[in-house]
Amino acid sequence: MKGIQEFPKHYCGVFGVFDHPNAAEIAYYGLYALQHRGQESAGIVTADGSTFHSHREMGLVPQVFKGNALAELKGRNAIGHTRYSTTGASHVQNVQPLIVDCNRGKIAIAHNGNLTNAAILREELEAGGNIFQTTIDSEIILHLLARPNLTADSNPLLETIRRIQGAFSLVMLTEKEMIGVRDPHGFRPLSLGKLDGKWVLSSESCAFDLIQAEFVRDVRPGEIVIIDEKGMRSMDAFPDQKRRAFCIFEYVYFSRPDSKIAGVNVYDSRIQMGRQLAREHAIEADMVVPVPDSGNYAALGYSLESGIPYHMAFVRNHYVGRSFLQPSQTTRSLDVRVKLNLVSDLVKGKRVIIVDDSIVRGTTSQSRIKILKEAGAEAVHVLISCPPHKFSCVYGIDFPDRSKLLAANASPEEICRHLGADSIGYLSQEGMVKATNQPEEAFCMACYNGDYPVAYESNVDKEIIERRTVDSVSFGDLLDKEASQSKLI
């Protein structure tokens, strides 16, 4: 299905729990809550103080952790990962968390994001004799961490974090500690919480609700948190970096509506996007219909603002997963109908506003409009709760290149004719930002306006070519040397 993917993929979800007697089980439920961020593979690594235990497979979280899988993951510390591939192929070799056993001891890593200088770093490391086992950029971070100290005062964690560029929210595990890192621009989310007095890390706060943990705060852009038996230490690894670039599409589509990011409830932001749509695109119609589930909240906001009745005219089949067979060319339309079925009697003779979060290629949007017209809808107006996507994302969202983005190659009028709609309207960039109740400078909106906050290797293919000491190092102890910037929380 990858070749005709209509919607952008969520990238990854990361989770970690430190010093909890049921660490593996807590990590399992944390990943379950983050399943929406990655459905290709899942993995958990636990540490019992001296040994790492790992279970990683392709598939959904409940498919991966069957039978005694969790019981075999011993230890009070755990990190986990759910994945969609954007760098590296989709196979078990690339399933995270990744583990290395090096001169600093064992280190495991779970990564959400995309390194924009990955090819340069990999070439440099391979030239120095490093051998890679995967084709993903996350392994580069492990190789950098495992390099021998160049000087007695060197700090491999800080040096590594300052070498990599792009988007990265990391959860790492050593034999002594759990580490959370967020890139200096804050592209991807990472939250900090407490469960039974123990620290937990998660891509989104919705995981804390499931495990009944207390949400403490977001990990700040550029922040490193070290959690060990001493408590939690925090430092700003990039004190001079002021530009923030949180991916605004997290509010539009990626994050779960029950998550809170930067103090803003995702549900509320999507309702406000719908209200803004109604202010910007007033249409005379009989009903507002969402495309489930991504358009539900913006459509509700449009209905609340406009007074036009809200109807769930499309019924989603929740049992359609990634393993559903792609129909043949002669039965291509069945792929849309099997996922969303229309309550035909509801729309017959009616003027319908259909609300969705985005149009990427337009393939499924075209099919839905055709289904509505065939059911007797008098008019079909398409509204999108964000601006047109005109540029690729290089920071961890699987948008196709510009040649395959409908809005990059056609005007709104041409898109409207192509889809067979009576009208089409996009939320303005200003309206989208306003709905988040945050300043425009807080966001990355490169996929809309082409303003990339971090340079990237435009001529490099996104899919990168696919003895330890007795005393392991403590990254927390090394950070203690940075006393002027560190603090115990």
Catalytic residues: 12
What's the rounded Cα separation, in Å, for the pair 167 and 10? 14
Place of tokens 């509505």: 372
In the sheet that holds 223-228, the strands lie side by side as: 98-102, 105-115, 166-174, 178-182, 223-228, 231-236, 487-488
Return all residues near 487 (Cβ < 8 A) that are at least 6 apart: 233, 234, 235
Phi, psi of 236 (to 5 degrees): -90, 110
Beta strands in 337-489 (DSSP E): 340-342, 351-356, 379-384, 423-426, 443-444, 487-488
Q: Which two tokens stand for residue 462?
A: 């996104």
What's the rounded Cα separation, in Å, for the pair 291 and 340? 8
Neighbours of 50 (CB within 10 A): 10
Q: Which residues pair with 461 in a beta bridge?
A: none
Residue 213 DSSP code: P
What's the rounded Cα separation, in Å, for the pair 415 and 220? 39
What's the rounded Cα separation, in Å, for the pair 351 and 224? 53
Q: Which two tokens stand for residue 176?
A: 């002594």
Beta strands in 5-104 (DSSP E): 12-17, 41-47, 52-58, 77-83, 98-102
- Strands 231-236, 77-83: pairing is unpaired
SS3 405: coil
Helix count (H) and strand count (E) of the chain? 17, 24
Cα-Cα end-to-end distance for the chain: 47
48 prior amide bond cis, ω within 30: no
SS3 92: helix
DSSP string for residues in 300-342: HHHHHHH-PPB---EEE-TT--TTSPPPPGGGTTHHHHHHEEE
What's the rounded Cα separation, in Å, for the pair 342 and 372? 8
Return all residues near 424 (Cβ < 8 A) that are at least 6 apart: 381, 382, 383, 384, 412, 415, 416
